[in-house]
Amino acid sequence: MKKFLSIALSVAGLSSAMGLAIGPAWAGEQEPAQKRQYYVEDIKSTMKKHVLATANEDGVFHMRDDKTGELLTLRFVEIHNPVRQIGTDIYFACTDFHVVGEPDKLYDLDFWMNDKTGELKVYESKVHKEPRNSLLYGWYKQPRYTFVNDEIEYLY
Q: Collapse the DSSP code of 84 into the 3-class scheme (helix H, G, I; strand E, B; otherwise coil) and give the result.
A: strand
Per-residue pLDDT at 33: 57
Per-residue pLDDT at 125: 97
This model's pTM is above 0.85:
no
Dihedral Cα 79, 80, 82, 87, nearest 10 deg: -70
CATH 3.10.450 fits 40-144, yes or no: yes
Per-residue pLDDT at 67: 94
Per-residue pLDDT at 23: 42
The answer to whether the beta carbons of residues 100 and 60 sit under 8 Å apart is yes
The tens digit of pLDDT for each residue in 53-97 reads: 999 999 999 999 999 999 999 999 999 999 999 999 999 999 999
Cα separation, 95 vs 127, in Å, equals 10
Residue 148 has pLDDT above 50, yes or no: yes
Cα separation, 77 vs 58, in Å, equals 15
Domain ranges of the chain: 40-144
The tens digit of pLDDT for each residue in 14-36 reads: 444 444 444 444 445 554 456 78
Per-residue pLDDT at 35: 76
Per-residue pLDDT at 34: 65
The tens digit of pLDDT for each residue in 98-139 reads: 999 999 999 999 999 999 999 999 999 999 999 999 999 999
Q: What are the phi and psi torsion angles at 22 (to 5°)?
A: -110, 135
Pairing of strands 151-154, 145-148: antiparallel
